[in-house]
Amino acid sequence: MLTQKQHDLLIFLDTTFKETGVCPSFDEMKDHLGLKSKSGVHRLLGELENRRFIKRLHNKARALEVLTLPTKKERVNTLKPIANDDIMPIPLCGRIAAGLPIEAIRYPSETVSVPSHMMGLGDHYALTVDGDSMRDAGIMDGDTVIIRKTDRVPNGTIVVALIDGYEVTLKRIRANGSSVALEPANPNYETRIFSADRVEIQGELVGLMRSYR
């Protein structure tokens, strides 16, 4: 299912491209959707790209391709109430950088209620995202990410990585022999490479919650 904003943006992109042969600007997208800032446009584009409705061409300005349009079943998401027994409290362990690394995760001082379907087996915790380096993966500043505790993940997984025992960040990880690359999802940030002994995986991303207030 698409949210109303996702659906409206996708149709606007497709219609504008068919009528003019070029993609609308970020300002045009923002105005069409009635958003206050371009960050909301970036978020929606990231979500549509993750779900393979569009493909962005990062080497060209204002270039993207609409891959598919939603089916009738995918058009608009209708939210259903969640029963109390489907909600689970997990520790909220402070902020994590989706940008430049910040201080390591603090001891949890509060909890956040999470729908149980967002979690599988194992222990979980939540973090508040600080920064926009994972923007193109649909992870925005202020989001709450749900993390499953683990120290083993496949290459390409988005993880909580602890660097040198005191810096923590949210990045996509790729191990190659004795080195580890921590990749952002925003061309404004560079991939950072460390020796494997400097990076400790503290969990993998399994869910995300966002408030629109």
Residue spans per domain, the chain: 4-74, 85-209
Using CB atoms within 10 A of its CB, is residue 150 exposed (0-12), middle (13-18) or buried (19+)? middle
Kindly report, residue by residue over 32-64, the tens digit of the pLDDT: 888 878 888 888 888 888 888 888 776 555 678
Q: Please confirm, yes or no, whether 171 is among the known catalytic residues.
A: yes
Element (H, E) at 88: strand 87-97
What's the pLDDT at 92? 86
Taking the complete model, does pTM exceed 0.75, yes or no?
Answer: no
Kind of pairing between the strands at 54-56 and 87-97: unpaired
Token duo for residue 41: 């446009």
Q: Are 162 and 200 in contact (CB under 8 A)?
A: yes
Q: Which residue has the higher pLDDT, 105 or 208?
A: 208
How many Å apart are CA 63 and CA 7, to the nearest integer? 19
DSSP string of 8-50, one letter each residue? HHHHHHHHHHHHHSSPPPHHHHHHHHT-SSHHHHHHHHHHHHH
Does 17 score more than 90 pLDDT? no
Q: Is there a common fold for 4-74 and 85-209?
A: no
User: Can you tell me whether residue 71 is helix, strand or coil?
Assistant: coil
Nearest to 134 by CA among 83, 187, 98, 92: 98
pLDDT at 72 over 60: no
Choice among 30, 38, 55, 133 that is catalytic: 133
What average pLDDT does this structure show over 18-31?
A: 85
What's the full length of the chain, in residues? 213
Two structure tokens written together for 128: 């508040």
Q: 112 to each of 122, 127, 203, how far by Cα in Å?
A: 17, 10, 17
CATH class of 85-209: mainly beta
3-state secondary structure of 191: coil
pLDDT confidence of residue 71: 67
Highest mean pLDDT among 20-29, 69-78, 188-197: 188-197
Name the most confidently modeled range: 10-24, 50-64, 103-117, 187-201.
Answer: 187-201
Span between the terminal Cα atoms of the chain, in Å: 21
Please tell me the predicted confidence (pLDDT) of residue 189.
92
Tokens matching residue 175:
């191990």
Mean pLDDT score of the chain: 81
What pLDDT band is residue 79 in, cutting at 50, 70 and 90?
A: very low
pLDDT band per the 50, 70, 90 thresholds, residue 78: very low
CB of 134 closer than 8 Å to CB of 171: yes
For 137-196, what is each residue's pLDDT tens digit?
Answer: 889 888 899 999 999 899 999 999 999 988 889 999 999 989 999 999 999 999 999 999
Q: What is the pLDDT of residue 107?
A: 52
Catalytic residue among 171, 178, 195, 211: 171
Q: Phi then psi for 122, rounded to 5 degrees?
A: 100, 175
Architecture of domain 4-74: Orthogonal Bundle (1.10)
Position 91 pLDDT exceeds 90: no
